[in-house]
Amino acid sequence: MLKVGLIGYGAIGKDVAKYIQEGKAGDVTLEAILVRDKNKHEHLASGFFYEHEDTFFGLGLDIIIEAAGHEAVYAYGKAALSSGSDFIIVSVGALADDSLLHELEAAAKIYNKKLIIPSAAIAGLDRVAASMFNEVDEVRLVTRKPPSAWRGTIAEEQVDLDTLTEPFCIYDGIARESSKLFPESSNVSAALSLAGIGFERTQVQVYVDPDITHNTHHIIVKGYFGEVEVKVQNTPSADNPKSGYIVAMSICKILKSVTSPIVVGV
């Protein structure tokens, strides 16, 4: 049985912990959760919670999952890999920083561990990655989210979320920039870029859309292999509308695949 550690205990972290503890994530056990203040969770099984990173990374964990934002990738990515753990990144937009990406890639090679990026809020990354074996002409992502998903973001500087009556494009450009501008809402563009033709060539449009209730992502890829279009609609998390329930499910799918004798969809 593989020992799993979790960094962060927000909406995604809570769902991941729940699925693991219900036995739905394969032959794994949740050993520890790294948080800023474990006293906030003392009403739970407090033995799971750690404040001190040295203790957490010294537990001999097989897999560590980041679910705490871009800062956590910077702070703990190398430490996780060097501790002997594979590292699953939720906040993949942090990897738009080439220096960080190269640092973590080098650490993964040195310690013979894997840096794992889940499909999370989108689908079709297996097809996108496979298409890279020959010429690819276009990779494009169109993201639409309802106004509630944009509160507390820079979208509020561009549009009045309370009075908006029609879709409003808040960004039209390349994935590298969108990943930095929308760290909680556009991690999908980073994952798509890493699977495909890179941050500079992946085109991204981002909309605030008052006509929808689900977070939607539309991927278009054209190349030697043909064409593919994938559209997903994710139910926003009640605890964090910027994300969706599918993110935790995607992480647990990875955990289940690691310990399963049959793996589908890689």
Of 207, 89, 96, 91, nearest to 149 by C-alpha is 207
* Digit-coded pLDDT (tens) for 39-51: 777 656 656 899 9
Residue 162 half-sphere exposure toward CB, CA atoms < 13 A: 1
Is it the case that residue 234 has pLDDT exceeding 90?
A: no
Q: Give the other-Cβ count within 10 Å of 36's Cβ.
A: 9
Percent of the chain with pLDDT over 90: 75
Q: From the options 3.40.630.10, 3.30.360.10, 3.30.365.10, 3.40.50.150, give the CATH code of 125-234.
A: 3.30.360.10
Rounded to whole angstroms, how far apart are CA atoms 210 and 45?
40
pLDDT of 235 reads 86
pTM: 0.91
3-state secondary structure of 262: coil
Residue 56 half-sphere exposure toward CB, CA atoms < 13 A: 26
* Digit-coded pLDDT (tens) for 163-199: 999 999 999 999 998 887 887 667 899 999 999 999 9
CATH architecture type of domain 2-120+246-259: 3-Layer(aba) Sandwich (3.40)
* Digit-coded pLDDT (tens) for 111-134: 999 999 998 888 889 999 999 999
Catalytic residue positions, numbered: 217
As a whole number, the mean pLDDT across the chain is 91
Mark 184-212 as b/e (b = at least 16 C-beta within 10 Å): bbbbbbbbbbbbbbebeebbbbbbbbbeb
Query: Which amino acid does the sequence have at 117?
Result: I
Would you say the CATH fold of 125-234 matches that of 2-120+246-259? no
Residue 223 half-sphere exposure toward CB, CA atoms < 13 A: 19
| Structure tokens belonging to residue 253 | 């799918």
pLDDT of 263 reads 86
Domain extents for the chain? 2-120+246-259, 125-234
Residue 25: exposure state from Cβ atoms within 10 A (0-12, 13-18, ≥19): buried
pLDDT of 43 reads 59
* Digit-coded pLDDT (tens) for 84-100: 999 999 999 999 999 99
Rounded to whole angstroms, how far apart are CA atoms 218 and 167?
15
Residue 160: exposure state from Cβ atoms within 10 A (0-12, 13-18, ≥19): exposed
